[in-house]
Amino acid sequence: MPENMLFPPEGLRPPTVYSLAELKEAQENGTILESPVQRCDTSHTLHIQLGSVEGRMPRREVIAPWISGASRDIAVLSRVGKPTCFTVTELSSDAKGAPVALLSRRAAQEAAMSHFLEHLEPGMVLTCRVTRLESFGAFLDIGCGIIAMLPIEHISVSRIAHPRDRFQEGQKILAAVWSIDRENRRVTMTHRELLGTWMENASRFCPGETVRGTVRSVKEYGSFIELAPNLSGLADAREGLSPGDGVSVYIKSIRPERMKIKLQVIEKLPPAEGPEPLRYQVTDGKLDHWFYSPPNYEKAAVETVFTAPSP
């Protein structure tokens, strides 16, 4: 089981009802729990119903100060309706004697980050949730609201114009740790190494087939057509094509020694409804060295080496 499943990305696990005894045990052990937020009151305290116990999370306990956006009230308001990780800091009673649990998402985040900084290593495969997409990359929740960055150049071998070409916000994906900045508490992720090598992707296609592709770039000498996120081919120049267009293409040849696929565009197709489903070749464990290019590739190997972080 991946290490970060000890601190699952918020929203990936179904909400749980906790008994008073379970909450007492969680308080004593510092266990991280998860349940959805019902409302945010006028003082920006979050309210979470934990079975027969009411949970309250003051504004200062919602987000750790080093989390991006922690100073904005919207970061608190946006938790309503979403599963949220927390620890139990105190159990008491209200004026009517009903049990009340004081909760802290901040403490859960700090515990998660301490765990990540202590145990994470480059190459480790984690389960993540896409929280935001920007032109330069995707922000991923790697556990308890801890946000890591996935740069656009690490999303796939096939180049894309925007991360929305590959992901949707809220989507559950896999990613590997690329680098860890312990001093600044930053984790950078990579994704393309999990989508398979050139040969693993090319083996799904044969010369003589006609398949669907996506235009990724248009040059004077031809167009690069994506057949899979980690596999593209070159088609002869043709007017009327633009990046993002869907096309049907005839596969003329596949040459592993040159890592090239020759294509012929047959016709334009209606646009696809959202990103294509991802096919992962690596789903868990830890990567040390990844070779994208085939063993008989004529040029220098295309590879990724995962290096240990500096102490």
Residue scoring higher pLDDT (175 or 9)? 175
Within 10 A of 237 (CB to CB), how many other CB atoms are there?
A: 12
* Nearest Cα residue to 32 out of 102, 123, 108, 99: 108
Average pLDDT over residues 22-39: 91
308 pLDDT band, cuts 50/70/90, is low
Q: What is the pLDDT of residue 75?
A: 74
Percent of the chain with pLDDT over 70: 91
pLDDT in tens, 289-306: 999 999 999 999 999 999
309 pLDDT band, cuts 50/70/90, is low
Cα-Cα end-to-end distance for the chain: 26
Q: What is the pLDDT of residue 3?
A: 40
- DSSP assignment letter at 273: S
The residues, ordered by sequence, that sit 6+ positions from 92 with a Cβ below 8 Å of its Cβ are: 99, 100, 102
Q: Pick the most confident of 59-68, 82-91, 206-215, 275-284.
A: 206-215
Give residue for tokens 């309706």. Answer: 81
Long-range residue pairs from 152-157, CB within 8 A, at least 24 positions apart, any chain: 154/178, 154/188, 154/189, 154/190, 154/191, 154/192, 155/191, 155/192, 155/229, 156/191, 156/192, 156/195, 156/229, 156/230, 157/192, 157/195, 157/198, 157/229, 157/230, 157/231, 157/232, 157/292
Average pLDDT over residues 51-55: 90
2 pLDDT band, cuts 50/70/90, is very low
pLDDT in tens, 193-245: 999 999 999 999 999 999 999 999 999 999 999 999 999 999 999 999 999 99
What's the whole-number average pLDDT of the chain? 89
pLDDT surpassing 80 at residue 74: no
Q: What is the pLDDT of residue 159?
A: 94
Predicted model pTM: 0.77
pLDDT surpassing 70 at residue 182: yes
* Nearest Cα residue to 213 out of 232, 230, 237: 232
pLDDT in tens, 127-158: 999 999 999 999 999 887 788 999 999 999 99
Q: What is the pLDDT of residue 5?
A: 43
